Amino acid sequence: MSERDTIRRRRGRGGRERILAAATALFETHGINPTGMEQVAAAAPVSKRTLYTHFPTKDDLVVGYLEHLGESGRTLESVLDREDLPPRQRILALFTVPETDGPIRGCPFIDAAAEFPDPHSPVHAYSSEQKRRLADRLTELVSALGVAEPRPLGEQLAVLVDGAASRAMVLDDAGCGHHARAAAEALLDAALSARA
């Protein structure tokens, strides 16, 4: 690769990253639908041509933003990848509502799905996939703990995780995480003592 190609590629990558950073900030502050493509281009800053080269449609940009949150470990779910932590600790870490400078944010996938009510829209479908995956991963972890019927408990824990995120957002109160965690511990302990 020539030096010029390297520079061009680096610039291109920088453009994509700047677009995603700007989109993330705008979506989180104002919501997705009120944020126009032009605002994202202006905030990045990139030309509209560059923006549309990376993300031909608003749907592409929103899915790109959600993918980027996951890939950069900025979702609550990313703690599930922490192979250094024992399963129970990884599960319970999901109930720590992240601190932010501004208002408490909910689960970005649920919030995005709420803004795109049609389940067949690319944004809603992507969010749904992520939330199904959360229950699958919780089921795996619960199974690793030795619970006999892991699927129902995995699904119940997913309800608690998403309920805590939704209530923390709407109430702007991280305390919801404590209540959800207490319920999760009670359900885990009951499932594990039933096994014994």
Is 111 a binder of a copy of itself (CB under 8 A)? yes
Q: Which is nearer to a copy of itself, 53 or 166 (CB)?
A: 166
What is the CB neighbour count within 10 angstroms for residue 87?
17
Q: Which is nearer to a copy of itself, 30 or 48 (CB)?
A: 30
List the one residue from 79, 105, 122, 143 that touches a copy of itself (CB under 8 A): 105
148 vs 145: CA distance, rounded Å: 9
List the one residue from 64, 70, 122, 163 that touches a copy of itself (CB under 8 A): 163
Is 77 a binder of a copy of itself (CB under 8 A)? no
69 vs 85: CA distance, rounded Å: 21
Q: Can you say how many angstroms the Cα of residue 27 is from the centroid of all Cα atoms in its chain? A: 13
Q: Which is nearer to a copy of itself, 144 or 190 (CB)?
A: 190
| CA–CA–CA angle 116, 77, 104 (5° rounding) | 65
The closest of 115, 137, 136, 112 to 126, measured between CA atoms, is: 112
Is 25 a binder of a copy of itself (CB under 8 A)? no
Rg (CA), the chain: 19
Q: What are phi and psi of 19, to 5 degrees?
A: -60, -45
Placement of tokens 């699927």 in the chain = 151
List the one residue from 34, 56, 73, 146 that touches a copy of itself (CB under 8 A): 34
Q: What are phi and psi of 107, to 5 degrees?
A: -70, 125
| Least distance to a copy of itself, CB of residue 95, Å | 10
| Least distance to a copy of itself, CB of residue 156, Å | 4
Number of residues near a copy of itself (by CB under 8 A) = 50
Contact set with a copy of itself (CB under 8 A): 28-31, 33-34, 103, 105-107, 109-111, 113-119, 124, 127-128, 131-132, 152, 155-156, 158-167, 169-172, 176, 179-180, 182-183, 186-187, 190
